[in-house]
Amino acid sequence: MALLTLAEAKQQLDIETTGHDAELPLYIDALAPVIEGYIGPVENRIVTETITSHGPALCLRQTPVVSLTSVTPVLEGAALDVASLALDTVTGVIIRRDRSLFCPGPWTVVYVAGRGTVPATVKLAAAILLQHLWRTQYGAARGAVGGSDDYAVTEPVVGFGYAVPNRVLELLEPYKTPPAVA
């Protein structure tokens, strides 16, 4: 599942020929890491991670979470029945339904992180980001002048520099990942 297809990218950029078909996938592939760096996984992926238990809960690092596949103690013991666990898909916190504690030690957790489907607002943000990135390369050749249009970013956003326009960040705001707990 890609944030944009080649056809959607060409439509956003008003490209009607095949002249850029070899170059556009590079731009399309660059969208997901930038957007996911801000809002967490969008495209579904299987994640395996080792987590140290802190008593009543296990906390997954990549959120949101679509589903939980397995939870297995690293040192000894059988995998837990995932039906006996409650998962907060937004925060990635796993607790036991019977409220018992997880035994100390590392656990191997396999889960699917992502959003199931790409929300329309995130898809629009990806299209606008694509247009911005494409325009920075081809702007002068297509008549774009200076930084006076909607794609100008007058102040850098911490961690993003000038690569992500403010309008993209505003579209992604409702989907921002919650702060991590150490």
**Does one domain contain both 122 and 150?**
yes
What pLDDT, on the 0 to 100 scale, is given for residue 154?
Answer: 47
182 lies in some domain: no
144 lies in some domain: yes
**Does one domain contain both 74 and 30?**
no
1 lies in some domain: no
Instruction: State pTM to two decimals.
Output: 0.75
What pLDDT, on the 0 to 100 scale, is given for residue 5?
Answer: 95
Q: Select from 72, 88, 113 the last residue of a domain.
A: 113
What pLDDT, on the 0 to 100 scale, is given for residue 53?
Answer: 82
- pLDDT tens for the chain, 182 residues: list them: 579 999 999 999 999 999 999 999 999 999 999 999 999 999 899 999 999 887 899 999 999 999 999 999 998 888 999 999 999 999 999 999 999 999 888 999 999 999 988 899 999 999 999 999 998 776 545 544 444 455 454 444 455 456 789 999 999 999 987 666 54
Task: Report CA Rg, the chain.
Answer: 21
Largest CA distance in the chain: 66
**Does one domain contain both 134 and 147?**
yes
Q: Select from 113, 130, 157 the last residue of a domain.
A: 113
Domain total of the chain: 2
180 lies in some domain: no
Domain that includes residue 164, residue range: 6-41+117-175
What pLDDT, on the 0 to 100 scale, is given for residue 151?
Answer: 47
**Does one domain contain both 92 and 53?**
yes
**Does one domain contain both 91 and 138?**
no
